[in-house]
Chains A and B, each alone.
Chain A
Amino acid sequence: MAQWDLANADAVLVMGSNMAENHPIAFRFVMQAKEKGAVVMHADPRFTRTSALSDIHAPIRAGSDIAFLGGIIRYILENDLVFKEYAVRYANLATIIDENFIEAARNEGLFSGWNEEKHSYDFDTWQYQGMVIPSALAEHYLDTAESYSEMTKRLHEGPPPDDPTLQHPNCVYQILKRQYADYTPEMVERVTGCPKETFLKVAEALARNSGPDRTAAICYAVGWTHHTTGVQMIRAAAIVQTLLGNIGRPGGGILALRGHTSIQGSTDIPTLYNMLPGYLPQPNAFKPQARHFDQFLDDETIPTGWWHNFPKYITSLLRAWYGDSVGPENEWGYQWLPKIVGDHSQLAMTLAIDDGLIKGMFLLGQNPVIGGSNSKLVERGLGRLDWLVVRDTDEIESANFWRKGHLVQSAERRPEDIGTEIFLMPGELAGEKAGTFTNTHRLIQWHDRVVEGPGDSRSELWFVYHLAKRLKALYANSELERDRPIRNLTLDYRAEGPREEPRADDVLREINGYTWPEKKQVASFKELKADGSTACGCWLYSGVYPEDDDNRARSRIPDGPDGPGTHLGWAFAWPANRRTLYNRASADPDGKPWSERKRLVWWDEAEGKWQSPDEIDFEPEKPPHYRPDWDKKPEGMDALGGDEPFIMMPDGRSQIFSPSGLKDGPLPTHYEPVQSPVRNPLHAQQDSPVAKKWAREDNPLHALGDPRFPHVLTTYRLTEHHSGGTPTRGVPHTAELQPEGFAEIPPELARQIGVRNLDWIVLSTPRGEVETRALVTERLKPFEIDGRHIFQVGMPWHFGWEGYATGDIANVLTAVVGDANSSMHENKALTCDVRAGRIRRSRHRR
């Protein structure tokens, strides 16, 4: 949802986020909603400014979010508060699941299909009865039979089996009731520590403010993603919002509050290992179907729904990258795309560097010594590289670890022992270079080049372009097949000025796509073809540059005070400038708005098309009563009815129950964090059975109940600092506002270890120790869990040894453990010890 649409919500739940402090400008819209009468709620381990501005603060133990959200799901079901017409028609609530499916709640915390030998799930029992549902493209799983794509072909044959009366014992509704039966308010209190009265207030307010006339929104940030169960926390929120009918409607939805200016853009156009631009899959060597392009297309193309267009997007991408050197005769250059052979995410990378597999590395505006988990392990690895290129605006910790790092300070190594050849190169910032950022609600916004960066600083565009030019020259005479990709890679961007800066608008034109070979801009992804007659760098961004001189990302026309408030003239939102995704769901199955108050999209019978102040996220002229003709085995969008708004899904419906794409279950279930002081009160399975643990000597984890690490530790951010701290710790204004690291501890714990506010304390985990100042505060309430006092400790993770605002690195404490789906770490919930005093350190060598 657009951030400004939060102002239209009747209730806002902020959870897994300290929105007032970390996204203060977006939080204005929550405050605007509150001024109009909305209920604002904050569920969080810490009492923060977000809590202070909320009507309700629900304190929860870090990592217990699924128990809380599962409790809300149960509350909605038990009190018959489901928005039934929405959830039955627009989601898979009535769909019948395989008869052998068993919920985790009935099976000691494991879903059916657990394969102890492989230590992973088989997904057969998670499917719709009699048919296989593939997931969105990039998440296709590996372990399926050869006939996977054959099985999904059955999607052509008819709609999924369902029971709209919701009585069938294996319909999703009944499964949900069984899975969450134990998540009573009493159990929520027992697991999360939140008083059940407070929990009930939140559940009641969310439900009361949902329905045809009202909508509720949920905002989250890395407080949800940084767990081994992070994906399922977000899934739980999606289930709540789908049951309540809050997706695709004004003031409704789930807003992910992301942390970096173009973190959304760098996910859409991914500098990520497992995807190609626009959420297309990076080929995987262990998928037999990925060996050849035709099989790859056959396997990855979902027969029904929008993703049926996949071949157009991947072929246009290959044309954009390799130009005329590819065609049907050489599989469009498909074999030139490197195949992945496992998890190549940052966590796995940390270990691969330390193990010597990775020998050369580029660090482009990232500071892993501060932001990476198990910081000493990161540092040790950087010292084992042959070469390292660091591009940033300042001398960051990841560049000078060899003279100021932990290993040198503790005299474990001398600089002379570290063989890494290091280049530290000055980078440019927005304002010194032109280009686009994509914000947290998919808005692609251009920034101009107003001044030049100082001295030898250059943009990353300049760096990669000129590096590629040099490499092309070095490989120019190679006859080797393996060097053909770099030799043939297109690099047709105009370079201007004495610095020969490549033009970002030329790159954006390629991202948008054009006809080949004429290079006439395409107006939208609907014009892309699978025959090589179009080239497109990222199909999802098509429309951002629809004419040669029309850069929509630079458009700056907001709606006036009396305008519709969709601001279609302000920049460009992917896809196709749609501001609210799945907005067909804002109208009822017949095409009428659910209510006048929540009107966004409606069917205009006279004109024969959908109308809206937004761009329609649906086929513009498909009538609400259209039904697929199953006798004709319909493909793509023809297989979705006029009342099925979730067009990226194979059945056009929101997945309350998710049959494919997740490695840890089709529904969320509460698992404890990998490092928790508490035994799982809900079932025997303690933590996620598929959590990535990478337990090894330099990444030790302790056993459950280890008395050495009795407290819960959570890491967090401050308003005045940014992530790894590079752009704030060295800037006088921000450094002065938050000049030094600290950790928050509750007064009860402070008394127990005998420290007062601002005394030195040492935090320790099996990975390491840090010293910092104690901020003794009641903001972190201790919890009573199963008769035990559990203290929570919080530490901001921005600090390091560079800049004006310094402090020990919180990530020295954290572990390389990750979510099975996303490989995201769990630095929001782990365990630690706290003692009074300081760490004895040898003096700095230099």
Chain B
Amino acid sequence: MTVNRRTPGKRLRSFLRDWSLPRQMRGESHKGAAARSSASEQLRPRLEEADKVGTSICPYCAVGCAQLFYAKEGQLIHVEGDPRSPINQGTLCPKGAATFSLISNPDRLTKVKYRRPHGTEWEEVPLDWAMDRIAHLTKKTRDETFVETLPDGTQVNHTLSVASLGGATLDNEENYLIKKVFSGGLGMVWIENQARV
């Protein structure tokens, strides 16, 4: 660090020359040169550090605002509205503007929690174990309740005892696979999402 050897008066005048506010008060535009100072000259955009940028869509309502996601070394560093989008032209509403906080929220779940029947606490379990157990329960309930024909002989090939709820927050591809596997594969009929609520 260089030591300022000038007199206090010189330092004050230098500071006042550098400080942007007096220039702005004199009527110079705060959007132009009058916003500059020696501190601002050294600022660099955070996005410059990003090693990856992707296109995304706001996860809240159905307006479909486009967003840009910036990441550095596998960590999200910034989310902003995509200025190219004819829908939002770079803008976001209070929810959309909180997308970064939503994704980076330290309170998010990161482990599978399991509550055994009549249990009084959550237990942490491995993902693989949970997947095996869920597959087992799905098969068990399906097999115990599957109906091939009604008494009049009509083929129905369904189970009325397994349900799935949700989909409006998910990708089209996910909805497709849910319907395909649960309905077309397993014969579930109770498949619904937020479209009616």
Contacts and interface: CB of A to CB of B under 8 A. Distances in A.
Contacts of A402: 115
Interface string B91-115: 1111111110111010111111111
Contacts of B12: none
Contacts of B69: 431, 448, 450-451
B196 to A, nearest CB: 5
A297 interface: no
Nearest to B177: A464
Contact of A470 (B67, B132, B159, B161): B132
Interface string B144-164: 011010100011111111111
A451 B74 contact: yes
Given A260-B62, A823-B196, A489 B185 contact: yes
Interface in A401-449: 402-403, 415-427, 429-433, 435-441, 443-449
B24 interface: no
B194 A570 contact: no
B20 interface: no
A558 B55 CA distance: 14
B29 interface: no
A372 B64 contact: no
A261 B57 contact: yes
A486 B186 contact: yes
Contacts of A485: 157, 184-187
A268 B131 CA distance: 29
Interface in A247-277: 257-273, 276-277
B14 interface: no
A443 B194 CA distance: 19
Contact of B63 (A3, A420, A457): A3
B15 to A, nearest CB: 35
B59 A451 contact: no
A340 B191 CA distance: 11
A592 interface: no
B162 A365 contact: no
B194 A261 contact: no
B94 to A, nearest CB: 5
A727 B59 contact: yes
Contact of A260 (B93, B139, B145, B169): B169
Contacts of A458: 127
Nearest to A352: B190
B175 interface: yes
A461 B62 contact: no
B118 A464 contact: no
A511 interface: yes
B138 A23 contact: no
B139 A475 contact: yes
A227 B158 CA distance: 31
Majority-rule SS of A interface residues: mixed
Contacts of B174: 435, 459-461, 464
Nearest to A368: B165
Contacts of A392: 109
A276 to B, nearest CB: 8
A8 B87 CA distance: 14
Contacts of A361: 162-165
A453 to B, nearest CB: 8
Contact of B113 (A349, A424, A482): A424
Contacts of B113: 395, 399, 423-424
Contacts of A344: 189-192
B76 to A, nearest CB: 5
B172 A444 contact: yes
A19 to B, nearest CB: 10
A445 B57 CA distance: 7
Contact of A358 (B60, B132, B166, B190): B190
Contact of B108 (A338, A349, A364, A426): A426
A386 B69 CA distance: 41
A630 interface: no
A254 B15 CA distance: 59
A587 B72 CA distance: 52
Nearest to B135: A470
A448 B148 CA distance: 42
A260 B56 contact: no
Given A25-B93, A360-B141, A448-B56, A429 B168 contact: no
B130 interface: yes
Interface string A789-830: 000000000000000000000000000001000111100000
B191 to A, nearest CB: 5
Contact of B62 (A258, A432, A451, A468): A258
A595 interface: no
A369 B197 CA distance: 12
Contact of B110 (A362, A450, A456, A556): A456
B85 A570 contact: yes
A457 B110 contact: yes
Q: Considering residues B64, B93, B137, which has the most beta carbons from chain A within 10 angstroms of its beta carbon? A: B64
Interface in A505-539: 507-508, 510-511, 537-538
A474 B134 CA distance: 12
Q: Considering residues A4, A429, A437, A510, which has the most beta carbons from chain B within 10 angstroms of its beta carbon? A: A437
A730 interface: yes
A279 interface: no
B116 A456 contact: no
Contacts of A416: 118, 120
A426 B60 CA distance: 18
Contacts of A454: 108, 110
Interface string A472-515: 00110000011001100100000000000000100110110000
A754 interface: no
Nearest to B179: A271
Given A257-B62, A366-B194, A737-B94, A262 B175 contact: yes
A731 interface: yes
B109 A424 contact: yes
Contacts of B95: 719-722, 727-728, 734
Interface of B: 52-67, 69-71, 74-76, 79, 82, 84-88, 91-99, 101-103, 105, 107-120, 122, 127, 130-139, 141, 145-146, 148, 150, 154-197
Given A337-B184, A451-B74, A732-B101, 5 more contacts: A270-B195, A352-B190, A467-B131, A537-B176, A824-B197
A-B complex: 7 closest residue pairs judged by Cβ atoms: A439-B64, A455-B110, A435-B171, A448-B54, A271-B167, A338-B158, A366-B166
15 contacts: A270-B175, A277-B179, A337-B157, A365-B170, A394-B105, A430-B59, A454-B108, A458-B127, A471-B138, A489-B184, A511-B173, A722-B60, A722-B61, A728-B102, A733-B101
